[in-house]
Structure 1
Amino acid sequence: MLKVWLYGYCTGTVSSRRVARATYEDVAFRYLSADQHPTFTPLARFRLRNLANLDRLFLEVLRLCQEAGLVGMTRVALDGTKVKANASKHKAMSHGKMLEKEQQLDEELRCSIREFLRKGVEIDAEEDRLFGKENNPYLHELPEGWKTKKERLEKIRAARKRLEEREKEKAKAAGKEGAPINPKAQINFTDPDSRIMPDGANRGSFVQAYNCQAMVDETAQIIVAAEVTQEPNDKHQMVPMTNATIRNTEMIPRELDADAGYFGEEAIREVEGRSIDVYCPPDNGRATERGSAPRGRPPNDETFVERMRRKVRSENGKAHYGHRKYVVEPVFGQIKQGRGL
């Protein structure tokens, strides 16, 4: 099953049901499955049980690439992309809206119950007339909508409880235990782990997604580290991705290129402390590409932001930073557009 799943991910077929169908319809899948046709259930179970092993497989493939000379670690580029969750952003609800909706549904449920009881009295009187006071051959069904409202109320309350637990854990980790829950904090009913994030491809729009990070080596565009995060921006990802790169390859890259979304003085200083030459502009791409470095010697009171801006906008800096676009961005294009993931 492993080779079937590997081929599935390479071709953008990641649904266990689609893979099961492909073992009948696709020659490559049929060959890899030895003309066996497992149903989607064992395929899904195999993947779920072997997620940790698949992580180790990624490292084994990476080591093979290193041995083949496909990973040089002279220059790596870091970037992130939003991968849509299998959930609609319209299925998300904020904590404040949940409280409001709970009150509304609770009142509607009370009204439904009162209406149900009132109708019950009327029905009893009618049945007494039809069947006699001692004869009751059936029970009247609940009115339409009564159970629906109750189920929705229970679902919202359960989601609110998960949201409150999540926000309390975040507050505790940030040293703000006991802080009130932000009324705008949201949770998605379909995929609670996903978050509403700005869509980088369409400015001003938002998607229900995950923020996927990739560190790519320049030599042959091999991904040397990959992570998935719930953070909507990339600001805090440079250090953990650098750590993952060094851990996976057991090598320290000479140069790291990242866009302005990763800029942070503390993070860059920490990475530079490992003898890595970082090119990460404090300004967006257009300002960096069109701007020019100040002439003359750097002033003694130059700030860290000014120093990095001067470095990236210099002719040498532009030449280095310009590599980022064709190192990491094509990888995301191959994954998302080429393979449909």
Structure 2
Amino acid sequence: MSPRKVVVVTGASAGVGRATAVEFARTGAAVALLARGVEGLDGAAGEVRDAGGTALPISVDVADADAVEAAAQRVERELGPVDVWVNVAFASVFAPFTQVTPEEFRRATEVTYLGFVWGTREALRHMVPRDRGVIVQVGSALAYRGIPLQSVYCGAKHAIQGFTESVRCELLHDRSHVRITMVQMPALNTPQFDWVLNRLPRRPQPVPPIFQPEVAARAIRRSAEHPRRRERWVGAPTVGTLVANAVAPGLLDRYLAHSAYDSQQRPTGTGGDLAPPNLWQARDGALGHDHGTHGSFDDVAKGESGQQRLAWGVQGVLSGVRRGLEWAHGRRRHG
């Protein structure tokens, strides 16, 4: 990626959003960091600057469409035209559906689904008149395959998937050069499992195998660099889940009903929240400190994805072949 790209990342105060902001900063980008928590934003901004980028932290609730619009205007005014907009921010609840209140379900949906909608709207507002730009939607294997105890999150990710497909078709119809792509993620070691609203008997955990957020960040950056690829699946578990769901969804229903309750809870300890969850307010603001990029699973999380290395290698070979064919075709036309 060329220097001084302007990149917007939502949910940038922790986890995947923060890792993504730093990943783009390493390319020399100017990164606007959008999130609620001031402490987390300050920490992320420092890491962006240390990585060689320019940081613009903006405290904003992505569920507020007017606030997202104002943030986008500020980014364009202070950093310049937005080249890449990455939607990451989300909120969720770990509980059986019948134990989630209407207010909780509404709030989590407004952050996780409508936050993507408002971010996409603002990105398009600025990109479409210029006829360039890339929007990256950070999804999940759960955008295709719902699992128990995460009805809020699964519903929102399914909605984002359908919304993104609709917008992509509209851009193609208009022959726009603005691209929108989606990256489906595996289980990741982020702080969300320490601050999510939880009503399980034990504290939640990602379903193993678990990957570090930097694995996700690298995939997001590559998706922004190669946006013609409409979707990218990260990690062998994501590939396996989506293929199994396409081939035998009923069997997967029964498997998850049997296994997914236990696999989403830590082996020991009790449930409940250690501090106020981040559904209603930023967790770093409630506790007064920065939570960083990683969660509590550094001892088991993987820093690399063999599936992604293979996919990138194959993509590189295919790109080389395509360039060779284009060169040969040009020689035939002008020879």
Fold shared, TM-score > 0.5 on shorter chain:
no
TM-score normalized by structure 1? 0.25
Kindly name which structure, 1 or 2, has the bigger radius of gyration based on alpha carbons.
1
TM-score normalized by structure 2? 0.25
